Structure 1
Amino acid sequence: MQVFKFGGSSVANAENIKKVAAIVDNAAKKNSIVVVVSALGGITDLLLMAGKEASEGNEDFRIKVATIEQRHFETIKELIPIASQSSLLSLVKKTMNEIEEICNGIFLLREITPKNQDRLAAYGEWLSSQIIADAFKHLGLFVQWKDARQFIFTNSDYTHAEVHLEATEKEIKKYFKENKSNVFLIPGFIGADEQGITTTLGRGGSDYTAALIAAAIDAESLQVWKDVNGMMTADPRLAANAKVIEHISYSEAMELSHFGAKVLYPPTIQPVMNKNIPLYIKNTFAPEMAGTVVGGKTKDTKVVREHIVSGISSVNNIALLSLEGSGMIGIPGFSKRLFEALSKERINVVLITQSSSEHSICVAIDQKYLPAAKKVVDKTFADEIALNKVEPLKAETHLSIVALVGENMKSLPGVSGRMFGALGRNGINIRAIAQGSSEKNISTVIATDDVRKAINVLHEEFFETIQKQLNLFIVGLGNVGAKLMEQLKQQHAFLIQHLKLNVSVVGISNSRKMIFKERGISLSSWKESLAGGEPASITEFASEVIKRNMRNSIFVDVTANKEVARVYDKMLQKSISVVACNKIAAASSFSEYKKLKELAHVFNARFLFETNVGAALPVIGTLNDLRRSGDEIKRIEAVLSGTLNFVFNHYDGSRPFAAVVKQAQEEGYTEPDPRLDLSGTDVMRKILILAREAGYEMEMDDITNHSFMPASCMEGSVDAFYKAMEKEEAHFKNLLSAAQAANSKLKFVATFNEGKAAVGLQHVKPENDLYHLYGKDNVVLFYTARYPEQPLVVKGAGAGADVTASGVFADIMRAVNE
């Protein structure tokens, strides 16, 4: 004999009930079936709402009663042939009159008791089971209906009655021994106390009814039919990549259900576990799916599973209570008094942790019980509080518990470390931790706002063997930004295939518009999408990045904008890594630079700005590798402006200097304002950044700038700048002629030596390492303790949208891999 239980969604309407009938009919051909059903979907809520409204003097309860009646009438008319409907319709009408009379009484008294609540709620299962039994009969099944109240015996703890197990098991065995049928149909959720008064087993009680019956008759199996494919590795509403768990042990299923996995009502597992009866969780709407098998093997047989963790679950609306005080140290009985006080108020403790110093005890409870908990605990410890031995109870709200569950975690080192590391890297603060001695469960208390992110982070850490999700927020979509989007599109398939990395651009902004799309912005049509976006605001963009609170987030700045650089600290403090093409932050005051570096360290984020110095050249990376390996930077010589190198490599006097600069700008080598390049300011920033990364405290004012530009060229607009250069052509020709006369090339060189830095135009002779530098190339010479005479040289293209974008891309990869 098998026991099938069908939930509210499975019997929500006539169409669904027909699907249930087909499942039962198929199974009944092979075996006798006990079918336990819930109320029609949503009916229990309507019944309880009717009672609540009546108790509040709200006559809308009559609308609820009419809706309940209409739902049952419609179901009967769709399921039962017209000639056979009258008896059921009469039953429903009579029952509705009873319900209305009960609600009228509640309305007059303005009070609803737990006993009345149970009486009202029980009508849902009582009616649905009789309608479904009649429908089965008309579909050709031999069905026997039985009122569960005749063998589910409970105490009088209304709304969540406790079952008298021995008496219940005895009566169930007797009934099924004396009665024979292909199909037995029984209402779930309801029972009766010793006076025969209706009680209910609490939400999810229909599952428990089915489990009690399965255990009593030693059923071959218990099948719980839902609207999901089985127990999932995480809540699919929170984790898009959640998977069905094929097989799970009883204890793991119990842990998951206690910590928020709503597929199973926690007490359901105990009766079948005691008899070692396999429990199947199946989908009414996809019966061909295998579903989840809970237990069913010998008790000492371990479930073989690919993953260490079986599942991740969460419980919201948690309050954390802390009882603290120096007077608790070494004094026995404080814990006992605390738990006794909570117990008297029927407040369940879901998590406990205590410091080894005995200075504090921390417990988690359902937030709705917080006022009662605070009142009773403060009263219990009133004397100690008055003597300042114990502080008044402290409470934190808006918290949740996220639990990692799995028998394979037992005695396996590193699981907790992986869990806390993954959460820490994503800026998720853990308020409390609990791990049972069985090591099947690691529970953490975190902010409710972080639950979605935490579940996705942990699911990715322990289940995502296929790929990791990376979420990018990109500001700046000019030449470099557009090239970056193009490269991300080009490399998308490669990253998934070879690095198991799914890079998703979630938010983008230029100076005019911004858009966000949680599932990713199309890399093919982002321009069109952006054109239809909302007005851009870097403040609002940054706020939205933080608000979305997505895992593995990176903020990418491809601008030269001061306002964008000012939001870096907000990103880092939320453990959002920053990749900056923008030099302003790293070249700002030393205190600001140091603050950003420290924030990145403290909040487990990355602050990367390789492209600040040499586009895609690994200049900063090489410098950091030297220092990390114990080397010391003594001196730096460098040509750090691809723009200036391009200009002086192309300026031979045959064309005006202004025309060569214009060409450099048109080909995307210059900053948006070319004067930043030509004035030497951009090179000053670069050598400043290198000096700081070399370990020196330096400000922009400490750098000497030997500018070659006439003062007249540096005033007014960019257009005025070009006109002024044309007028100063003789000046530029004189610079060129002097270099040629000295058999040299003009190079704008940055130097750093013994803590001092300078930039300026120099005559470079053929024997110099800087001489053979062509096009837009950059070169950096590191003289170190290990390279005192022959420097370590980094050389290559130092400007251009493509190479700069590739440098930003490389930093993104570093941020996610480190």
Structure 2
Amino acid sequence: MKVLKFGGSSVGTPDRIRGIVAILKSYADRGDHFTVVFSAFGGVTDSLITMGGLAAKGDESYYEHFLAFSKRHLDAARDLLQEPYLSEVLSGLENNHEVLKNLLYGIFLVREASTRTMDYVISFGERNSAFIIAHTLQQAGLNASYLDARKIISTDKNFGNAKVDLAMTYGKIKKQYIQNSDIQVVTGFIAAAKGGLTTTLGRGGSDYTAALIAAGLDADSLEIWTDVDGVMTADPRRVKKAFSIPVMTYAEAMEMSHFGAKVIYPPTIQPVLAKKIPMWIKNTFNPSHPGTLVSDKEDDVRTPVKGISSIGNIALLTLQGSGLFGVPGIAARLFGSLASAGINVILITQGSSEHSISFAVQPDKAVKARKQVEKEFEHEVQSGLVDPVRMEAELSVVAIIGEHMRYLPGISGRLFQALGQNGINVVAIAQGSSELNISVVINRADESKALNALHEAFFLSDTSVVNVFMVGVGLIGSTLLKQIKAHAEFLKKEHSLEIKVVGLANSKKLIFNENGIDLDNWRDQLSASDTPMKIKDFVERMKSMNLSSSIFIDNTANEQIAQHYNEVLDASISISTPNKVAASSGYELYLKLKKTAKKRGILFLYETNVGAGLPVISTLNDLIVSGDRILKIEAVLSGSLSFIFNSFKPGISFSSIVLEAQKRGFTEPDPRVDLNGIDVRRKLIILARETGLPLEAEDVVIHPVLPDACRNAPNVEAFFAELKQADDHFTKLAEAAAAEGKVLRMVASLENGIASIGLQSVDATHPFYQLSGSDNMIVFTSERYKERPLVVRGPGAGAEVTAAGIFSEIIKIGNYLN
């Protein structure tokens, strides 16, 4: 005998019921003996509770809910059934509805609905659904009979959550099934107390009904049919990458159900555990999926962590004080006082110092729990031996669960690392000696983020996800998006990494999509957005989304955006940026950003600030970290200036070269921005700071390249006119250098703490002599590389290489966080 149970979502519509009929016919066709338990139609129990509550308040609108309830069931019967079954069912439903209508009217008249009355009210959901489906099965040719569970399940009179008399119930179940060989279609959730009073088994009680029947019949298996593919590694509504667990033990299932796994109602497990009856969790909408097997057998893989679950809203209370230390019976008094008040404790934690005991309860019980404990320890509080009970609300419990965690060192370390790297603060920790679960209390706002972070940490076979927020979609930004899209499949296949762009903004508009922005039409989406771009709003929305493994990309040169970097880092969001403003402005800000990133356990990367895609900063840091000492840095750090002076030779006018550089887009619209060395200064400041020098902008000596008349020209047109007049000046410089076998280069230099920028003549022995095109070159002279300096050379500008540099940092951050 198999016992099958179908939940409310499985029987929500006539089409879904037809799907169940097909499943049950397949069981019958292969000769399986089974009985089946049904919940109320999806949403009906809540509707019955609502109409009872409204009637008790004297609100006549309860009747509208009743009419909708009645219509829904009558319509379902008409959709599913034909004569003669239809007439029989309609008659039965109308009788039920007449009783319910009179019952609700009675509640309305007396303005009161006791738990006893409400149990009777909500029983009509299961009674209607099972009655309709039993006749639908008969119509389909199955030998099925309707069975009201009140005939076979006996309870006490604890209305709302009645306790089952197991001995009496099992006896009734055996007798019923011995006397009836046809398929019993049973109402879930409801039972009867002495005298025939209707009781209920608590929300989710239909699962419990099925488990009781399975235990009473010593069934071969229990199957719980729901709307997901078994027990999932995490809540799929919050963790998109969650997947079904093939096999788990009763103990693991018990833990998962306690910590909020919605597919298993906690009391369900006990009856089947006692009889060692295997339990399957299967999907009504995907019946071919094997689902999850829960039994006393461990899986062969011995996965250390089976799942991650949570309790979404709890309050944490703490009893502490010197009077607790070394005093026997404190815990007994504490938890005895809570038990006497009927308060269930979700989690307990106590330090070895015995100075404090913390415990979690449901929020609606928190105030009562605090009063109860303070009353119990009233004398100690008045004597100053114990502090008043501290209460913290808006918290959640997140737990990792698995029987084999005890056999693998480092599980706790991985848990806390994953939380820490995502800026999730742990308020309390609890772990039993069995190591079946490790529970942490965190801020409720971080619950989804924690579930995703832990899922990434413990289920590495699945693709890790980084969530990217990007400001600036001009040449660099659009190129970066193109690169992300082009390499998406490669990253998934080779690196198990998915880059999901969840926020985009240009100077005018912004868009967000937690599930990822479609990179095929991001331009159209951004153009169609009605949300204006304000960096404050962008940062606030990014923080409020609170996604794990988040990265902020700033592709602008905007000073206002850079002012928000510390706020972004403090929210545990890593940064990658080619924007040089933050790292080259005030030294205190530079230090603050570095410290904030370190404190939050995330990364602040700006490799593209110097040399675009060249590994300049990383090379410098590697030298320093490995113990080398930097003696001197010489660099050509501007692609535009490199092109200008690499192209400038005797016989070619300097002004024509600068004009060509401007036309090619190598320089700023006003080439003086490049030629005055301001951009080079920023890059040199950054390099100096990476070596540990607290360099400010005013500490850098810039030797002017341009004559005063050129620098002071009122506009770009006037500048080029003055520059043409100065061609002889530059020609003489080039000729003088050539006479000595040298070439002109705009060089940034850092030596003995002195930073300078200026035009230099270098001969063929110097690395800069061979520079061509718009290449950058950085020469590191160190204790280790004194005789033959370390040279980094390559394209120092351009959208492709800059975007590639940012792309590389995204991957680096993704691997670091995951």
Name the counterpart of 1:48. 49
Q: Which runs of 5+ in 2 are unaligned?
A: none
Cα displacement (A) at 1:373: 2.2
Distance 1:96 1:337 in 2: 50
Name the counterpart of 2:283. 283
Closer, same or farther: CA 599–2 of 1 in aligned 2, 3 Å: same
Check whether the contact 1:668–1:801 (CA below 8 A) recurs between aligned residues: no
Aligned residue runs from structure 1 range 399-478, under 5 A: 399-478=395-474
Distance 2:451 2:694 in 1: 42
Name the counterpart of 1:773. 771
Cα displacement (A) at 1:18: 3.0
Select between 346-355 and 81-90 the one with higher mean Cα deviation.
Answer: 81-90
Distance 1:116 1:807 in 2: 69
SS at match of 1:370: helix
Name the counterpart of 2:643. 646
Distance 2:453 2:723 in 1: 56
Name the counterpart of 2:572. 575
Name the counterpart of 2:228. 228
Write the deviation string for residues 296-318 of structure 1: whole angstroms up to 9, x where unpaired. xxx4x421237432222222122
Name the counterpart of 1:75. 76
Closer, same or farther: CA 709–338 of 1 in aligned 2, 3 Å: farther
SS at match of 2:770: coil
Of 546, 551, 570, which aligns to 2:548?
551
Of 791, 804, 807, which aligns to 2:805?
807
1:207 paired with 2:203, answer no
Check whether the contact 1:32–1:182 (CA below 8 A) recurs between aligned residues: no
Name the counterpart of 1:496. 492
Check whether the contact 2:465–2:814 (CA below 8 A) recurs between aligned residues: no
Distance 1:465 1:800 in 2: 37
Closer, same or farther: CA 490–100 of 1 in aligned 2, 3 Å: closer
SS at match of 2:328: coil
Cα displacement (A) at 1:115: 1.0
Check whether the contact 1:307–1:463 (CA below 8 A) recurs between aligned residues: no
1:387 paired with 2:383, answer yes
Aligned residue runs from structure 1 range 511-590, under 5 A: 511-533=507-529, 534-590=531-587
Cα displacement (A) at 1:263: 0.7
Closer, same or farther: CA 115–662 of 1 in aligned 2, 3 Å: farther
1:160 paired with 2:158, answer no
Check whether the contact 2:241–2:462 (CA below 8 A) recurs between aligned residues: no
Cα displacement (A) at 1:104: 2.4
Distance 1:723 1:524 in 2: 46
Check whether the contact 1:32–1:181 (CA below 8 A) recurs between aligned residues: no
SS at match of 1:137: helix
1:261 paired with 2:257, answer no
Distance 1:521 1:223 in 2: 39
Name the counterpart of 1:367. 363
1:508 paired with 2:504, answer yes
Distance 1:521 1:663 in 2: 39
Cα displacement (A) at 1:743: 3.8
Name the counterpart of 2:19. 19
Cα displacement (A) at 1:412: 0.9
Cα displacement (A) at 1:656: 4.6
TM-score (norm 1): 0.95
Distance 2:452 2:743 in 1: 57
Amino acid at match of 2:205: G
Check whether the contact 1:28–1:183 (CA below 8 A) recurs between aligned residues: no
SS at match of 2:467: strand
Cα displacement (A) at 1:413: 0.7
Amino acid at match of 2:272: V
SS at match of 2:161: coil
Amino acid at match of 1:690: L
Calculate percent identity across the aligned residue pairs.
46
Cα displacement (A) at 1:500: 2.1
Name the counterpart of 2:746. 748
Count of matched residue pairs: 813
Distance 2:812 2:285 in 1: 45
Cα displacement (A) at 1:214: 0.6
Distance 1:13 1:289 in 2: 22
Aligned residue runs from structure 1 range 121-132, under 5 A: 121-132=122-133
Distance 1:24 1:487 in 2: 51
Check whether the contact 2:325–2:354 (CA below 8 A) recurs between aligned residues: yes
Q: Which runs of 5+ in 1 are unaligned?
A: none
SS at match of 1:309: coil
Distance 1:508 1:490 in 2: 18
Check whether the contact 1:635–1:784 (CA below 8 A) recurs between aligned residues: yes
Aligned residue runs from structure 1 range 305-384, under 5 A: 305=301, 307-384=303-380
Cα displacement (A) at 1:441: 1.3
Name the counterpart of 2:185. 185
Name the counterpart of 2:4. 4
Amino acid at match of 2:402: G
Closer, same or farther: CA 482–76 of 1 in aligned 2, 3 Å: closer
Cα displacement (A) at 1:488: 2.5
Closer, same or farther: CA 763–223 of 1 in aligned 2, 3 Å: same
Closer, same or farther: CA 776–262 of 1 in aligned 2, 3 Å: same
Cα displacement (A) at 1:749: 1.4
Check whether the contact 2:5–2:207 (CA below 8 A) recurs between aligned residues: yes
Closer, same or farther: CA 765–274 of 1 in aligned 2, 3 Å: same
Closer, same or farther: CA 226–343 of 1 in aligned 2, 3 Å: same
Output the aligned Cα RMSD: 2.3
Check whether the contact 1:31–1:182 (CA below 8 A) recurs between aligned residues: no
Check whether the contact 1:479–1:668 (CA below 8 A) recurs between aligned residues: no
Distance 1:139 1:814 in 2: 60
Cα displacement (A) at 1:687: 1.8
Distance 1:530 1:88 in 2: 55
SS at match of 1:185: strand
Distance 1:88 1:622 in 2: 80
Distance 1:313 1:666 in 2: 60
Closer, same or farther: CA 559–245 of 1 in aligned 2, 3 Å: same
Of 600, 607, 622, which aligns to 2:597?
600
Closer, same or farther: CA 722–539 of 1 in aligned 2, 3 Å: farther
Check whether the contact 2:245–2:306 (CA below 8 A) recurs between aligned residues: yes
SS at match of 1:349: coil
SS at match of 1:317: strand
Check whether the contact 1:554–1:812 (CA below 8 A) recurs between aligned residues: yes
Amino acid at match of 1:285: F
SS at match of 1:199: strand
Closer, same or farther: CA 194–719 of 1 in aligned 2, 3 Å: farther
Cα displacement (A) at 1:577: 1.1
SS at match of 1:770: helix
Name the counterpart of 1:816. 814
Name the counterpart of 2:608. 611
Distance 1:724 1:528 in 2: 45
1:710 paired with 2:711, answer no
Check whether the contact 1:5–1:224 (CA below 8 A) recurs between aligned residues: yes
1:634 paired with 2:631, answer yes
Cα displacement (A) at 1:572: 1.0
Closer, same or farther: CA 142–711 of 1 in aligned 2, 3 Å: same
Name the counterpart of 2:194. 194
Distance 1:753 1:186 in 2: 87
SS at match of 1:685: helix
SS at match of 1:235: coil
Distance 2:51 2:675 in 1: 78
Closer, same or farther: CA 321–670 of 1 in aligned 2, 3 Å: farther
SS at match of 1:262: coil
Cα displacement (A) at 1:219: 0.6
Distance 2:41 2:218 in 1: 28
Distance 1:422 1:343 in 2: 36
